[in-house]
A and B are shown apart, each in its own frame.
Chain A
Amino acid sequence: MAKKSKENGSSSASNNNNKQDQDGLPDALLENQRTRVRVGNAGNENTRGIYYSGAYTSLGYDNSFSLDKFKKNFKINVLSDKPDHLVFEMIGVDAPIANALRRILISEIPTMAIERVFMINNTSILQDEVLAHRLGLIPIKVDPKIFNYKEPGKEYTAEDTLIFTLKVRCYKDANGETINGTVLSKHLTWVPTDDQNEMFPNEADHPRPAYDDIPIVKLRPGQALEVQCYCEKNIGREHIKWSPVGTAFYKILPEISVSDKVTGEKAKKLKQSCPMNVYDIEDSGKAFAARPMDCTMCRECIRDPEMEPFVKLERVRDHFIFSIESVGTIAPKTLFQDAIKILIDKCSTVENSLNTQI
């Protein structure tokens, strides 16, 4: 039953079990339960990974952690790479680690964002607090590593604060055209304090909004805006404006096996039932999953009880398709590397704390 998956894609799936130091369990059904999440009509099965080291001792399989084994099985494979959006496969890692990295990406990588706004003049229709909130959400492109966290109650210093001013007046020019009808993020100008000019010797590194064309507020002729914005360093757990990613998520690789018996009319029916167009029909008339990556596990193909025995929807438990979409301030690759560093730092902090107590 479990040996049908011919197009085994990538991971170390259920093939040969003749090796002494096995890659999997000798029993096909148990191996399937260990490595796959089953998606059925009535619900999902085997959703929980089995992590106990001695879970399979009686079958001669060692479920404990070994770095060598991990290194042997672990793979990263880039699927799509754009300057601000990286998609890659992470194979051979378990959910708790992948999830830790995902959580760190969203909420624990520090960035700079506007935290305090001093309103000098605001005659726009937007209330001060709404305007301040909008300003806070603008991603600021600057290396956060060169700044310190601001200590509450202390004065602002050049090492923990960046200042931007926004001074825009809307008017009609000689031709009757409205100038500055929309205040954009490019109107924010950086005001270097103390020796901040030396911190950023290159023009290209100057702190600025990640995008120039983010609308902040619309003005009518005669309205004006003058505000001073103070940026501070913090993390996404405090407020989402400090999150460096639009979102970071993973999905688990779908694996679809179609029975050989699905031919002719049945195959056509299967192909048509899928809203994501996952299935195709071979020349021989047999249906097969041509684009399993597109599957959203909507289960439309197995909703008909007649079809359910012929289509097996599964996910490969240790195969993650990881997507990191940067907000535009730090490249996704750097973010992922930062997340790893933060996870290591977390462990070191706990180690240090425990060591001082012994």
Chain B
Amino acid sequence: MADTAPTKIESPNVINKVEVISDRPDCATFIFVDEDHTLGNALHYVLMKNPKVDFSGYSIPHPSDNKMNLRIQTKGNTTAQDAIMNGLSDIKDISQSVDERIGEESNQSHIYSDAQLCHRHDGHPTNRLF
């Protein structure tokens, strides 16, 4: 810690993104680094919807710590590791089908894309103010 090298910004693919604390296979606490309610609540939600999971809950112990804790207890017919993997792939599946649907929607009815965004480059009405 006390080295003089400049602090390196953590790249998104750090291996120690998650720390697992577990002394039995069916229960575990996952400590996420640099995650918040965005992933915490979404994971909690899909885990609760998994019939093999008995309990899931998350907390952010302190706002100035960049940590998020997620607790999973399964019904015993699967491991907590498998449950979280399942949850992650559920979120991915949901996201993918949302993506597909917005793609279909923009094919059917035109939705503005980046190309049309330069509409205020000249002659915006507020120019008259100056």
Which A residues lie at the B interface, using CB under 8 A? 51-54, 63-65, 67, 70-71, 74-78, 81-84, 86, 88, 90, 93-94, 96-97, 99-101, 103-104, 108, 141, 149, 151-153, 181-182, 184, 204, 210-213, 215, 326, 328-334, 336-337, 340-341, 343-354, 356-358
Contacts and interface: CB of A to CB of B under 8 A. Distances in A.
Interface residues of B, number: 65
Contacts of B7: 152-153
The 4 closest A-B pairs by CB, nearest first: A153-B6, A65-B49, A96-B45, A353-B17
Contact of A350 (B17, B53, B111): B17
A182 B130 contact: yes
A333 B42 contact: no
Contacts of B35: 346, 350
9 contacts: A96-B44, A96-B45, A101-B98, A213-B120, A334-B113, A343-B95, A347-B92, A347-B95, A354-B18
Main secondary structure of the interface of A (DSSP, over half): mixed
Contacts of A181: 130
Given A65-B90, A182-B130, A353-B17, 16 more contacts: A53-B49, A65-B46, A70-B94, A77-B105, A78-B105, A81-B109, A82-B112, A83-B116, A83-B117, A96-B42, A97-B42, A97-B98, A151-B8, A333-B106, A343-B42, A347-B89
Interface string B95-130: 111110111011001111110111111101011001
- Interface SS majority for chain B: helix
Contacts of B111: 78, 81, 86, 333
Contacts of A108: 38
A82 B95 CA distance: 24
Interface of B: 6-9, 12-18, 20, 32, 35-39, 41-42, 44-46, 48-51, 53, 81, 84-85, 88-99, 101-103, 105-106, 109-114, 116-122, 124, 126-127, 130
A51 B121 contact: no
Contacts of B130: 181-182, 184, 213, 215
B91 A343 contact: yes
Contacts of B45: 51, 94, 96-97
B54 to A, nearest CB: 9
Contacts of B85: 351, 354
B51 A54 contact: yes
B124 A211 contact: yes
Contacts of A96: 41-42, 44-45
Contacts of A151: 8-9
Contacts, number: 193
B100 to A, nearest CB: 9
Contacts of A346: 35, 38-39
A71 B94 CA distance: 8
Contacts of B16: 353
A218 to B, nearest CB: 9
Given A53-B49, A86-B111, A353-B16, A97 B91 contact: yes
A181 B130 CA distance: 8
A212 B122 CA distance: 7
Nearest to A107: B38
Contact of B13 (A76, A77, A103, A349): A349
B48 A75 contact: no
Contact of B32 (A54, A93, A350): A350
Contacts of B119: 83-84
A350 B81 contact: no
Contacts of A86: 111-112
B44 to A, nearest CB: 7
B97 A71 contact: yes
A104 B102 contact: no
A149 B49 contact: no
Nearest to A102: B38
Nearest to B102: A76
A340 B130 CA distance: 41
